[in-house]
Amino acid sequence: MPTLCKPSVIVPEHIITMEDTLKFAQKTHAGKPQLPLALRLIRNTGVQKRHIIQPIEKTLRHPGFEVRNRIFEHESKKWCPEVIEQALENASLIATDIDAIIFVSCTGFLMPSQTAWLINNLGFRSDTRQIPIAQLGCAAGGAAINRAQDFCMAYPESNVLIVSCELCSLCYQPDDDGISSLLSDGLFGDAIAAAVVRGSGGTGMALERNASYLIPNTEEWISYAVRATGFHFQLDRRVPGTMEPLAPVLRELATSHGWDIANLDFYIIHAGGPRILGDLSKFLDVDHKMFRHSWATLTEYGNIASAVVLDALRRLFEEGAMAQDATGVIAGFGPGITAEMAVGSWCIDAPQSTSRVQ
């Protein structure tokens, strides 16, 4: 059974607090009629601080899409090696043990994919499969886990590296004063994360079943408008209400596996915002404390897009409370409206070195 090992997560050193966000929003968008509502929504996110790739003074300036994309390339190449090295160590593997790399990001664009640079520079084999995912937004973390499971099931004994590089601050648009743009300015943070799915062995979540679901006719509810200045985030006001139709889908996934979704041992849920977590807790009849790792990510890092589920899972590992065969679920939500979900049980592997010698 493929096992999702402990993720590694890095956040940049520059910090912006909620108080900073409110102050800069009031200064930058002074006099705009939407500002009072946006400030109230930002306060209600519960995000106390976020980490960003550049100092706030640089973040607030827009040097152009081309320059921002160069910053994304530079910073991703700067941060990815460290987070990958730690993820490999967490899985007791080395680079040559990896058979496929899934690289996910919705905040920059490179062709060839960053996977090519990783293979050429970090010691991966030249026959390593490349699976870049660029357009699933926040759902891509869950999708990467599911595609890694699928790969390991198709190619037994394979190992898959997942890398998430989300530099959301590079999508800040200082001239946008719509509610969705202003809200995103106070919600999203930057993070780089990685995790390994081992085809056999390892400690973590044994991935047993996964599923995808797209809510019909919601494809315009979360989107980018791609303009000369880059990616402009667009969010429909109906998005926070999407947990009501998605809760039954999660329940059905657990039921098809013989489990009760309301009585699992752990829940790793995408922290898109406080209402997402609150509503899903209510509709699944799960104590909100069971979502504590997702709440912690939201509070301390903000919405870090596809990296949320990896960071919440890291927190679960570090809590150290999971027993053998504990049951759980991972769920990521994003544009589409898309849900990527997986259920599995906790597996504690005996310490061993299983690296293949190349």
> How many other CB atoms sit within 10 Å of the CB of residue 13?
9
Tokens of 283: 């509709």
| Contact (Cβ atoms closer than 8 angstroms) between residue 73 and residue 218 | no
Tokens of 149: 């499971």
Q: Fill in the amino acid letter for 206.
A: A
Q: What DSSP state is assigned to residue 188?
A: B
The residue from 80, 138, 152, 347 that is catalytic is 138
As a whole number of angstroms, the distance between CA 57 and CA 52 comes to 11
Concatenating the DSSP letter of every residue in 254-314 gives HHHTT--GGG-SEEEE--S-HHHHHHHHHHHT--GGGGHHHHHHHHHH-B-GGGHHHHHHH
The total number of residues shown for the chain amounts to 358
| Contact (Cβ atoms closer than 8 angstroms) between residue 3 and residue 153 | no
As a whole number of angstroms, the distance between CA 214 and CA 334 comes to 10
As a whole number of angstroms, the distance between CA 177 and CA 25 comes to 10
| Contact (Cβ atoms closer than 8 angstroms) between residue 282 and residue 251 | no
As a whole number of angstroms, the distance between CA 128 and CA 126 comes to 6
Pairing verdict, β 100-104 and 129-133: parallel
CA atoms within 13 A on the CB side of 2: 26
Catalytic residue status for 138: yes
| Contact (Cβ atoms closer than 8 angstroms) between residue 239 and residue 337 | yes
Residues tagged active-site: 138
